[in-house]
Structure 1
C-alpha cells in the first residue's frame, strides 16, 4: 500500500491493454412463432431485430409450446462455438441459417434452438422469439431466454457491437414484459456439461450484475418441450467444422467514429463525462470511505488497470465492476504489466480533463504534484510506456515529496 494512504491523493486509473463442447440439447417436441420485431423496434432500448423472414428462416416442423414461465426468469448466454465471425447482415444471416440447418437436419429438432442469435454486426436475429420454449439448455428452455453470439469466445471476447446488442436485447425484453426485471443471468455451462459460452465470455458474464451462481433448473413440467435430467449430449465440435468457411476472421473491436480524441485536446470544457457508481452497477462499499485529510488533494497518482481496452459504455461498465470485485476479494495481486501497448488517446485525454476539472472545482490543489503509482509503491504500475507519457504532463515530479 502507498505510504500516502490515499489521504492527500487523487487516484486515476487508466485501462491500458488492450470450445465448444457445443452442449446444445437433445431433440424435443417444440412449439408457434410470434415474435414482433416491429414492436420491439419501436422501443428506445431495443436493438434492431432481424425477423425470421428477413434472414430467410425455414418454417418449424412442429408447433411450439408457450414458455412455461413468463415473463422469463432467466437469460442463458451461449456462443456459437466455432471460429467464424460476421460483420454484415448478409454474412450473419448465412451463419444463422447454418445454425438452423444443423439443429433441424442433424439434431432433428423442429427449429433453431435459440430464442435469439446476435451477430458481430450488432443485429439480433430472431430465433424462437420471446414466447416459445427453446432448445438450448436443459432445465431452462421453458423459463429462460437463450441468446447465442456468433463466434468462438474461448480465448477472446465478443466485439463491442455484440455485447451492446446482448444487453440491449435483455433491456428490450424487460420493456416488453417478456423478461423479469430481476432476471438471473447464467452461462450455458451452468445448465449442462459444456464449455459454452467460452471461457473468456463466461468470465465476463460472471461480472455482470444479474449473474446467478446457483441457478435452479425447472424439471418435471408436464407437456412437450421441457427437458428431463440425464439426457445424453449428442452434439460435438466435429459437426461444426464445415461451417467455419461461412464466416470471416475475427476482428478486434474498434472505437466508434468520433471517439478517438487527440491526446492534447483538453478543450474549454474541462470536466469529462463522469459515470456515477449507480450507473455502472457498483457494489456497496463494505465501510464508509475515509475522507481526504486536506480540502484539496496535493497529489495525483496515475495507475493502469489489468484489462483489455473498451470503447463502449456497456463494456467499460463491466470492466470497472470487475476491477471493483477483484479489489474487494483481494485477488488483484498480479504484477503483469502491459508494456506492449499504451492507453488510448481518448483515455489519456479523459485523465487530463479529470485533473483539470479537479483543479477548477477546488478538489485538486493548483500546485498539485503528478506521480506514477510505481513512484510511491513497490509496483511496476502503470507500465513503462504509460509512465514515459505522464512524465511529460504538467505537475509531474521525478522525486515524490516526503
Structure 2
C-alpha cells in the first residue's frame, strides 16, 4: 500500500478552519464512495470548499482506483464527512461510483490494509467500521455502495491473522510500509521509544527509533528490524 501525505496540499477555505480532537476520541471509521465515476482528492477539496463552504477536504483519506492512498487530514482533525458523526470518526473515501459495481481489486486491497492499520492505531474493532449509510440518520444514502458486511468479513484484528508468531515477522528497513511497520512502531512505543506518528511508514524517525532500541538492548545497531530485533521487541 502506498500512502501519499497531502495534508494541507489542496484547496482550503481562506478563513474557516476545522476543529481538532485527541486521538483517543476517535471510535469509528466511516467508509464513503465519491459517487462519481472519476475524481481526485484535489477535485473533492475544491467541491467541499467552494460548493459546501467547508474549511477544507472532508475526508481524512482518499483511495484511488490504482490503490494509491492519499492522506488528506490529520486523524486529530474534525473534518466534515458524515453529519452528526464527525467529532469521533475518520472518513475514508474510495473514488468511484459503486452503487452498481464493486471497487477494483487494487483499490479494495488498499482499503482493507488501511482500515486494518487504523484499527490497530485507534484500537477500533471491525464492528466500528461502518458505511456512510449505516450511520443513524443517513440510512437513505446509498454510500458507499458496496456491501459493508462483506467488507467487514475481510478485516480482522492483527491478533486473528496469524502474525503473532515470531517467524512471520519480515525484515523491515527504511522505505517499507504497511501493517508490519505499524506493528513495529507500536512495539517500539510500548518499549518507550518514540517513532513519531504511528503511520505504517518506515521513515527516518522509525529508523532512528530502531537504532535507539538496538543500542539499548546491545544489538547490532543498523536501523533494520531483523530477527534479533523482533525477538527483543516481542519479549
TM-score, normalised by the number of residues in structure 2 = 0.58
- In 1: Cα distance, 2:109 partner to 2:25 partner: 22
- In 2: Cα distance, 1:159 partner to 1:71 partner: 32
- In 2: Cα distance, 1:103 partner to 1:83 partner: 18
1:182 counterpart residue number? 125
Q: CA deviation at 1:156?
A: 1.1
CA offsets, 1:284-325, max 9 Å, x none? xxxxxxxxxxxxxxxxxxxxxxxxxxxxxxxxxxxxxxxxxx
Q: Which runs of 5+ in 2 are unaligned?
A: 163-235
Higher relative contact order (CA 8 A, sep 6+): 1
- In 2: Cα distance, 1:57 partner to 1:82 partner: 19
**Do residues 57 (structure 1) and 1 (structure 2) align?**
no
Residue 66 (structure 1) aligned to one of 12, 20, 24: 20
The 5 Å alignment of 1:252-401 reads 279=161
1:165 counterpart residue number? 110
- In 2: Cα distance, 1:138 partner to 1:181 partner: 20
- In 2: Cα distance, 1:161 partner to 1:97 partner: 21
Q: Which runs of 5+ in 1 are unaligned?
A: 1-46, 85-91, 211-277, 281-402
CA offsets, 1:99-158, max 9 Å, x none? 111111011111111111000121111222311112111232111111000001111111
The 5 Å alignment of 1:84-233 reads 84=38, 95-175=40-120, 177=121, 179-182=122-125, 184-191=128-135, 192=138, 193-198=140-145, 200-202=146-148, 204-205=150-151, 207-208=153-154
The structure where helix makes up a greater share of residues is 2
Q: CA deviation at 1:208?
A: 4.5
Q: CA deviation at 1:160?
A: 1.5
CA RMSD of aligned residues (A): 2.6
- In 2: Cα distance, 1:82 partner to 1:181 partner: 29
How many residue pairs get aligned? The number is 154
1:319 counterpart residue number? none
